[in-house]
Structure 1
Amino acid sequence: MAGTNAREIKHLPPAPAVILVSPQLGENIGMTARAMLNCGLTDLRLVTPKQGWPNPNAVAAASGADRVLDQVRVFQTTRDAVTDLTRVYATTARPRDLVKEVMTPRAAAAAQRAEMAAGQGVGLLFGPERTGLENEDLALADVIVTAPLNPGYSSLNLAQAVLLVGYEWWTAADATPPRQLDHGDSGPADKAELFAYLDRLDAALDRLGFYHPPEKRPGMRRNVHAIFQRAQLSGQEVRTLQGIVSAFLGAKLKRGPEALAAKQIESEENA
């Protein structure tokens, strides 16, 4: 999925820092930067990257997430990278012999929002691609974050892990309704428009003999109405449906005499 908006990207709210401990490849750093910017995260910190920094491979893999790469900071130890933070969340898929609070990415995101709103600095800690975080790094964290994935295969690459945690951070403050329809400029149809259409449709269907036999008409009518009630039509769509009814009725009226004449001719030829 492609999509960028230079105007929106300038006004990102404060967000957690992302700390990558000993990332192995520049490409992984670049893909992480891209995942970060997808989720409004811009503070990227590297602890002893294996291929050094800066790295041209990271630039190519970032796909335009230059805002993140341009302000990368490099540290010699994980401790140095988190010194200015108040709360550190370490990500790991493996159980550890550490007594720490464990959260899902979603629960952690809600806590991080509250902490940052209170003026605290928050960091998200990620380990090397092959081994993950060591106990020495995990010991610096306040909370362990573990995603509830398939227990038989929960391994993620670095950018995937950052995207998963970052996505939960971003959506924790999203006010978008879980389901929404775009009704265009006309807006959703009000009940008066819909009822007027349904009354006209009923009349047309009665005229065409659709509601037959008569004793089944109430149930058939309810089923037809339910289709259009469920569709959440726009005003323009209702007007279009009104036009369709008019077209069908007009065609029926035009074909009526012709069909009658043809039937009469056929009867005479068979006589």
Structure 2
Amino acid sequence: MSDTPLRQPAFVLVRPQMGENIGAAARAMWNFGLDRMRLVAPRDGWPNPRAVALASGAGRLLDEAGHFPTTVEAVEGCTFVLATTARGRGLTKPILSPEEAMAQARDHAQAGGKVAVLFGPERAGLENDDIARANAIISVPVNPEFASLNLAQCVLLTAYEWRRQTAEIDHARVELAGGDWATALETDKLAEHYEDRLAQAGFFFPPQKAEHMKTNLRNLWSRMPLTRADVQILHGMMRQMVRWKERGD
């Protein structure tokens, strides 16, 4: 894989109406490492102080955002354009899920292409003239009885899918709080400790089932993701219970 950074898609906000939504969109983009914003004819003009207030740390995106009078000019030079809309608008277009759309966007970018994603104004979304200039439509599988997404929500969802397609993602992990995982030997010693004490207490009964019970117990320990601190606590618990029993006798 090339060490050259992958070219990001440009997120094009077409005729956005509220500065607050532009700022929230910038924040959503920067949450996922995207910083190429383009604005097409914002209703309230540009720059917009309300956008800055909502950007919350992502103001640089607003400072560097491209400002264009038309969608055609905003996507000039782009080789793969996607339009976000909940409706096909009667146009014959490939309709992609956000995941598939960003996978194709990644492939185009890796091949040296320039990608743009169009987001429509808050009230009615993109017009047919905008959608007609796109290569494909992104359709989010939302509740059909309430399909409208806030502009910033749609930006965030698309940016998240781009991140998933282009970054190393830890799908599951455990944060160790200053400790280490227990070794197999440490777990084995813990099992021996419990077996010895449980045997003294008469737990392994009847005798003919003792070995099977011990095997199940060891299997239980091996399934538990124990840290060294956990092992020490479990040893201490057993020692204390034995001491308490001996004092009671």
Q: Same fold (TM over 0.5)?
A: yes
Alpha-carbon distance between aligned partners in 2 of 1:222 and 1:147, rounded to the nearest angstrom: 50
Structure 1: give runs of 5+ residues left out of the alignment: 1-11, 257-271
Structure 2: give runs of 5+ residues left out of the alignment: none
Q: What is the CA-CA distance between 1:101 and the residue it aligns to?
A: 1.4
| Residue-by-residue CA offset, 1:160-202 (whole Å, 9 max, x unaligned) | 0000111000111232332222334543222222121112112
| Residue-by-residue CA offset, 1:181-230 (whole Å, 9 max, x unaligned) | 23345432222221211121122222233444556655654554444333
Alpha-carbon distance between aligned partners in 2 of 1:102 and 1:131, rounded to the nearest angstrom: 19
- RMSD, aligned CA: 2.0
Question: What SS is found at the alignment partner of 1:24?
Answer: coil
Q: What is the CA-CA distance between 1:107 and the residue it aligns to?
A: 0.9
Matched, 1:50 2:43: yes
| Letter matched to residue 54 of structure 1 | P
Match of 2:115 in 1: 122
Alpha-carbon distance between aligned partners in 2 of 1:222 and 1:68, rounded to the nearest angstrom: 60
Matched, 1:195 2:188: yes
Deviates more, 1:204-213 or 1:38-47: 204-213
Contact 2:6 2:110 in 1 (8 A): no
Alpha-carbon distance between aligned partners in 2 of 1:194 and 1:29, rounded to the nearest angstrom: 55
Alpha-carbon distance between aligned partners in 1 of 2:187 and 2:27, rounded to the nearest angstrom: 46
Match of 1:3 in 2: none
Alpha-carbon distance between aligned partners in 2 of 1:175 and 1:230, rounded to the nearest angstrom: 27
Matched, 1:131 2:131: no
Alpha-carbon distance between aligned partners in 1 of 2:94 and 2:85, rounded to the nearest angstrom: 13
Matched, 1:101 2:94: yes
Alpha-carbon distance between aligned partners in 1 of 2:155 and 2:42, rounded to the nearest angstrom: 17
The correspondence of residues 140-219 of structure 1 with structure 2, limited to 5 A, is: 140-214=133-207, 217=210
Alpha-carbon distance between aligned partners in 1 of 2:75 and 2:15, rounded to the nearest angstrom: 14
Match of 1:263 in 2: none
Question: What SS is found at the alignment partner of 1:20?
Answer: strand
Contact 1:15 1:40 in 2 (8 A): no
Match of 1:85 in 2: 78
Q: What is the CA-CA distance between 1:22 and the residue it aligns to?
A: 0.6
Alpha-carbon distance between aligned partners in 1 of 2:131 and 2:235, rounded to the nearest angstrom: 65
- Sort the Cα spacing of 1:39 and 1:110 in 2 relative to 1 into closer, same or farther, 3 A: same
TM-score for both structures, normalised by structure 2: 0.90
Alpha-carbon distance between aligned partners in 2 of 1:162 and 1:151, rounded to the nearest angstrom: 19
Q: What is the CA-CA distance between 1:97 and the residue it aligns to?
A: 1.4
Alpha-carbon distance between aligned partners in 1 of 2:92 and 2:121, rounded to the nearest angstrom: 22
Alpha-carbon distance between aligned partners in 2 of 1:128 and 1:218, rounded to the nearest angstrom: 70
| Letter matched to residue 81 of structure 1 | A
Question: What SS is found at the alignment partner of 1:70?
Answer: helix
Contact 2:6 2:109 in 1 (8 A): no
Q: How many residues get paired?
A: 245
Match of 2:104 in 1: 111
| Residue-by-residue CA offset, 1:6-53 (whole Å, 9 max, x unaligned) | xxxxxx864111101110100000100110101111011111100111
| Letter matched to residue 87 of structure 2 | R
Deviates more, 1:171-180 or 1:134-143: 171-180
- Sort the Cα spacing of 1:202 and 1:176 in 2 relative to 1 into closer, same or farther, 3 A: farther
Match of 1:32 in 2: 25
TM-score for both structures, normalised by structure 1: 0.83
